[in-house]
Amino acid sequence: METLVTRSRLDRLTASLSNSNLDAVILNPGPTLKYLTGLNFHLMERPVVLFVAPGRDPVLVLPELELPKVDLFPFKIQGVAYGENPAEWDDAFTKAVRSLGLDAKRIGVEPRQLRLLEFRHVRAGAPEADFPDATDVLAELRLRKDKAEVDSMRRAVKIAQDALESTLPRIKTGMTEREVASELVMQLLKHGSESEMPFAPIVSAGPNSANPHASPSERKLQVGDLLVVDWGAAYDGYISDLTRTFAVGEVDEEFKKIHKIVQEANAAGRAAAKPGVLCADVDKAARDVIENAGYGKYFTHRTGHGIGMEGHEAPYIRGDNMQILEPGMAFTVEPGIYLTNRNGVRIEDNMVITGNGAESLSDIPREIRVVG
């Protein structure tokens, strides 16, 4: 990750701040801080917060034990360290705020990432400040992936696909969903995934496969089940997020039918993706296939979501999103049909918008395959 990070990322952020109604943003450990710095900070009981304001060197509040990391930043920063006594931590935040003149200013925050722990200390240092939502500014920073980022995502996809192909021959009727998930996790690690994976694999069969976000259970695979496997790998801080659906032995004709419909919807969504197209139109392309086949009410979620350093980020591929796709944007196409208490199907690929179209980073077979 360190090799991907340059001063230009900070420059892009500060330029965005200069064109917004924000005087600064604060970042705690998470994907955006790592994107900006290339460094890993632990999300722990000791707060770590980076203050970024246009025209000034950023200020990092951190525990003394992590102070050497200041020298690893790809740009100049000021470190404000604190000791082990929590009663003294507010003083460090007050010093950071004063050094940037941020009290009574507008300090943007990431609501999905910033904890109450960090917020309380920042507010103690800047009691007169406002703290507006900076989601849009920060999402814009990471929205368009460069070649190095796409290469890392491509590698994460290959790791995931190779791991699943190594797992499939080991799946047998009578295994539990958890046993299959455990084997898949082991194969992901063997094939090169970082140990901190983007999410725990979803392995769901039969009635459980009709729940899009099921957790692997002790239910045993049975002949006639559809088996949904939603999994991903992490490489150099970037992730993959894929889904394929399999048949456990012979399955009913209707289940083969809905698999074929979802496969066609996935293809339609992928084909619709290109520069200048609305996110909503990619959703519509996939959704129309399922609705025209009479299963529209069984497709219960958006067609996709952005991917990169997080499993869910902008852009979101849903029917009300008028965002225009541009080169470098990366996202999933994952239509599904879920027949409650019976079986479900989802097929998910990872896409990146190119100069004149879109590339699927994933190519593991999409047609139904028999396991067990």
Chain segment 188-216, per-residue pLDDT in tens: 999 999 999 999 999 999 999 999 999 99
Q: Are residues 39 and 155 in the same domain?
A: no
CATH code of the domain containing 272 = 3.90.230.10
* CA neighbours closer than 13 Å in the CB half-sphere of residue 245: 31
Task: Tell me how crowded residue 300 is: count the other CB atoms within 10 A of its CB.
Answer: 13
Q: Which amino acid is at 280?
A: A
Task: Give the CA diameter of the chain.
Answer: 69
Residues 6+ apart with CB under 8 A from 150: 328, 330, 352, 361
Chain segment 105-118, per-residue pLDDT in tens: 999 999 999 999 99
| Tokens read off for 152 | 């890392």
Predicted model pTM: 0.94
Give the domain-ending residue among 99, 127, 142.
Answer: 142
Domain span at 249: 147-371
Token pair 């203050």 is at which residue? 51
Give the domain-ending residue among 142, 173, 192.
Answer: 142
| CB contact at 8 A, 58 and 75 | yes
Number of domains in the chain: 2
CATH code of the domain containing 29 = 3.40.350.10
Q: Are residues 159 and 179 in the same domain?
A: yes
Chain segment 253-286, per-residue pLDDT in tens: 999 999 999 999 999 999 999 999 999 999 999 9
Categorize the per-residue pLDDT at 6 as very low, low, confident or very high, splitting at 50, 70 and 90.
Answer: confident
Would you give the distance in Å from CA 282 to the centre of its chain?
A: 19
Residues 6+ apart with CB under 8 A from 109: 25, 26, 119, 131, 132, 133, 134
289: phi then psi, degrees, rounded to nearest 5 = -60, -45
